[in-house]
Amino acid sequence: MLFKQQALLRQKLFVLGSLAIGSLLYLVARVGSLDRLQPLCPIDGRFGPRGQDEIPLRALQFKRGLLHEFRKGNATKEQIRLHNLVQQLPKAIIIGVRKGGTRALLEMLNLHPAVVKASQEIHFFDNDENYAKGIEWYRKKMPFSYPHQITIEKSPAYFITEEVPERIYKMNSSIKLLIIVREPTTRAISDYTQVLEGKERKNKTYYKFEKLAIDPNTCEVNTKYKAVRTSIYTKHLERWLKYFPIEQFHIVDGDRLITEPLPELQLVEKFLNLPPRISQYNLYFNATRGFYCLRFNIVFNKCLAGSKGRIHPEVDASVITKLRKFFHPFNQKFYQITGRTFNWP
């Protein structure tokens, strides 16, 4: 009896061991075959008509890992060639507006697997010295990407610099242009706050906002103050419209991007002819920071720099009222030109 029990036990152990070894061999073979096959991931996948190139499954890995190494200059020419990576001129540019949320917009669009961002502001079109270096210099400032990805850069000074529209037109007359705006008075105060912080960091004194925004001689709004001029959106846009039709512009609501980012990003995806990929999963509210942060995957999250969301100084209520009254007719014209209305006072 004991002998039979021992034999049965040995038989069971043999079967279990065989199953374990078989499962292990299957997994090894499966991983190996996946590595060899390198399957294409449709991610519903096509960015154009059926039959065009699809994005490789590994694209997401390269975008977060290998492409980061390339940006740091750690890749060889052979690695770049093997992975079919290129430095492309941007197909879309965030041209402004300063303190409208350009950095937040760029980082959020970078959540999309078909978008690759230039990490730094290039200042090619608004800087005469850089512009004189030529378009090839500009292209080499762009990140590595796959040919089917869209490269985007942002330099908010582009929007207000007189020479920029013509220069961009000469590079690409069909380029898509993104403008992110906030309520003009709030944007002007935010602009002032950033400069003020820089002065304080250097132990320098600076005028109060009221003294800069209001002309002491006339007691009217000081249109020579750059923070005020930048907020007259329609004046700058009219200069751009001499070169580009309004259909090539998309206006992003910077105030809504702070409180409810997903609908704004979905509108940009549509404007750029991208398949919808950014979801609520990619955006989560950080109560400590007071704004939305980004979730790329289960292990990689990112919040904007601590300098974002600065506390504005208190501004005299009468000055705010005067500024809002001043901006009102310009805002109405901006709504009319762009076809987008904001609830600005």
List, as residue ranges, the binding site for 3'-phosphoadenylyl sulfate.
99-103, 182, 190, 292, 308-312
Round to whole Å and give the CA distance between 131 and 339. Answer: 33
Round to whole Å and give the CA distance between 318 and 324. Answer: 10
Round to whole Å and give the CA distance between 59 and 304. Answer: 24
Report how far apart, in Å, the C-alpha atoms of 2 and of each of 7, 9, 10, 14 are.
Answer: 9, 11, 12, 18
- Structure-derived torsion over alpha carbons of residues 117, 119, 123, 129, reported in degrees to the nearest 10: -120
Which residues carry out catalysis?
99
Are the C-beta atoms of residues 227 and 319 closer than 8 Å to each other? no
Number of Cβ within 10 Å of residue 196's Cβ equals 19
Please report, in range form, the residues annotated as the binding site: 99-103, 182, 190, 292, 308-312
Are the C-beta atoms of residues 181 and 100 closer than 8 Å to each other? yes
* Strand pairing report for 291-295 and 283-286: antiparallel
Round to whole Å and give the CA distance between 191 and 200. Answer: 15
